[in-house]
Amino acid sequence: MPDRREELEKAGRREIEKLQLDRLRSSLGRAARSPFYRELFASNSFRPGDLVSLSDLGRLPFTVKQDLRDSYPDRMLACPPREVVRMHSSSGTTGTATVVYHTAGDIDRWTGLVVRCLVMAGATADDVFQNMMGYGFFTGGLGLHYGAERLGMMVIPAGGGNTHRQIELFRDFGTTVIHVTPSYALHVSDVFREMGLGPEDFKIKKIIFGAEPYSEGTRSKLEEAYRAQAFNCYGLSEMNGPGVAFECRRSEGMHVWEDSYIVEIIDPASGEALPAGETGEVVFTTLTREAMPLIRYRTRDLAKIYPETACPCGRNFTRISRITGRSDDMLIVKGINLFPSQIEHVLMKTPGVGTNYLIVLDRFENLDRLTVRVEIAPGAFHGDAEEMRRLQALIKHSLREEIMVQAEVELLEPGALPPSQGKAKRVLDKRDV
Ligand code: ADP
Ligand code: ZN
């Protein structure tokens, strides 16, 4: 019996596009079962049956994160509730949480995509896989876990943190493949070096990096620190999670699994399609999801498509570049998403705080550090240092409650920060991404 996975991976462009069109038709049909898309299609006088070619998809408006929030908890659900076997939710730090539902079939197909990624990285059942990503709602944990198990690797569900234990696990169980965020990998390598250990003490051969942007420089540094080959893994919970796009051994761009997703790159300002080679916002349409199809979902991630489709690895699936940034101003600090506006919100409601502030991000001991430099209100300082310490502690506490990240707070005298010359620059990101 031919291996379905291998056969699919060798598919040519025409074959891929034909499959996409078939699947898009049924995906739109399924989407129409959810209250959200039923209304959206009706207000655009669109019937899923009208779709003749893939380009007809452009007739539909984009779906944005706010639509998911507004649909909380289940207006995007497109199947009977009893068919749902799992939900994932965003951390909920940025307003109302978003929910993504999965049927058993959805989990099965997602797992299949993750297996493809792992096979592409050269992993086999002989490998020992240490999953150093957080479990729980975060899709990096369970997503990779299921795929790694299906491939037959021994999975160590280590989760994030607990660095000494992670290093002990590397040694005691002969870990050969790890899945980790680049920033945490840097920290772990610092710690093992401090312990007098080096890559020669481990068997790690492959590292799967995901969940946050990072530079080529960081990648090289990490490949050296672990003496292992790195693979970039991209995904987002709205599109299941990790395994939407993954690097082949050519290490130039990530193949998007186009039998499961349609990828578009658009100009974030105008919404117009951009040609291959130009950087813009990545937009995805799910092709096989049952519980919660998403049509033209704007990821806010910026990347470009490589014009050349035939890859020396034998695959014809479109490759996207690494994610170079976000089209909005969302910050990812220690893996938690936050917006400058949330910080502003805390500052501005605190009496004694001025109007000018700057959010500084850098790395300290290879971990993200967030410092909020804020001017006190004119006249708020009465020569009492204790009062200032109280204000500082109050801001720190409120920030922690609002953004769930520990922040350093520096109080400055009024006028200490450069005033805005038009569009205020509120964020100074000194992390090397
Ligand atoms: P959210 O709730 O933040 O949308 P996810 O946990 O689903 O969260 O995270 C998805 C986001 O993480 C992506 O939209 C992207 O910004 C970032 N991300 C994931 N993988 C990568 C990667 N390999 N490179 C850069 N950024 C990534
Ligand atoms: Zn390739």
pLDDT at 421: 57
Average pLDDT in the 324-353 region?
82
Give the separation between CA 134 and CA 210, rounded to whole angstroms: 12
> Can you tell me whether residue 243 is helix, strand or coil?
strand
Q: How many Cβ atoms are within 10 Å of 330's Cβ, its own excluded?
A: 14
Please report, for residues 43, 110, 233, 292, 409, the alpha-carbon distance to residue 403 in angstroms, rounded to integers and kept in the order given.
37, 30, 26, 28, 14
Average pLDDT in the 120-144 region?
95
> Which two tokens mark 79?
């199947």
Q: Which residue has the higher pLDDT, 30 or 187?
A: 30
Q: For the packed helices 182-194 and 216-226, what is the interaxial angle rounded to 10 degrees?
A: 40
pLDDT at 338: 83
Closest CA to 408 of 400, 426, 396: 396
Q: Is residue 257 over pLDDT 60?
A: yes
Q: Which residue has the higher pLDDT, 3 or 200?
A: 200
The DSSP call for residue 350 is S
Residue 280 contacts residue 298 (beta carbons within 8 Å): no
Expressed in angstroms and rounded, the spacing between residue 232 Cα and the centre of ligand 2 is 12
Contacts of 253 (CB under 8 A, 6+ apart): 247, 306, 319, 320, 321, 322
Expressed in angstroms and rounded, the spacing between residue 224 Cα and the centre of ligand 1 is 25
> Can you tell me whether residue 387 is helix, strand or coil?
helix
Which of 91, 144, 181, 212 is the best mutation target for the ligand 1 pocket, counting ligand atoms within 8 Å of the beta carbon and taking the most?
212
pLDDT at 433: 54
Ligand 1 contact via 210 beta carbon (within 6 Å): yes
Q: How many Cβ atoms are within 10 Å of 25's Cβ, its own excluded?
A: 16
Task: List, for residues 271-315, the tens digit of each pLDDT value.
Answer: 999 999 999 999 999 999 999 999 999 999 989 999 998 999 999
Please report, for residues 46, 129, 190, 225, the alpha-carbon distance to residue 368 in angstroms, rounded to integers and kept in the order given.
46, 26, 14, 19
Average pLDDT in the 318-322 region?
96
Task: List, for residues 75-89, the tens digit of each pLDDT value.
Answer: 999 999 999 999 999
- The backbone torsions φ and ψ at residue 284, rounded to the nearest 5 degrees and listed phi first, read -125, 150
Average pLDDT in the 253-267 region?
97
Ligand 1 contact via 211 beta carbon (within 6 Å): yes
Peptide bond into 199 cis (omega under 30): no
> Which two tokens mark 240?
């299941």
Average pLDDT in the 336-360 region?
85
Ligand 1 contact via 127 beta carbon (within 6 Å): no
pLDDT at 335: 84
Expressed in angstroms and rounded, the spacing between residue 319 Cα and the centre of ligand 2 is 8
Expressed in angstroms and rounded, the spacing between residue 337 Cα and the centre of ligand 1 is 9
Give the separation between CA 69 and CA 77, rounded to whole angstroms: 13
Give the position, in ligand 1's atom list, of the atom nearest the Cα of 90: 2
- What global pTM score does this model have? 0.81
Expressed in angstroms and rounded, the spacing between residue 140 Cα and the centre of ligand 1 is 10
Band of the pLDDT at 340, cuts 50, 70, 90? confident
Ligand 1 contact via 323 beta carbon (within 6 Å): yes
Ligand 1 contact via 260 beta carbon (within 6 Å): no
Ligand 1 contact via 213 beta carbon (within 6 Å): yes
Ligand 1 contact via 141 beta carbon (within 6 Å): no
Ligand 1 contact via 232 beta carbon (within 6 Å): yes
Give the separation between CA 252 and CA 320, rounded to whole angstroms: 9
Give the separation between CA 303 and CA 310, rounded to whole angstroms: 19
Q: Which domains does the chain have, with CATH numbers?
A: 1-327 (3.40.50.12780), 336-429 (3.30.300.30)
pLDDT at 187: 81
Q: Which residue has the higher pLDDT, 348 or 59?
A: 59
Give the separation between CA 245 and CA 105, rounded to whole angstroms: 20
Closest CA to 352 of 312, 268, 409: 409
Given the DSSP bridges, would you call strands 99-103 and 128-131 parallel, antiparallel or unpaired? unpaired
pLDDT at 161: 87
3-state helix, strand, coil in the chain (%, to 5): 35, 25, 40
Looking at the CA of 141, name the nearest ligand: 1
Task: List, for residues 41-69, the tens digit of each pLDDT value.
Answer: 999 999 999 999 999 999 999 999 999 99
Q: Residues, the chain, total?
A: 433
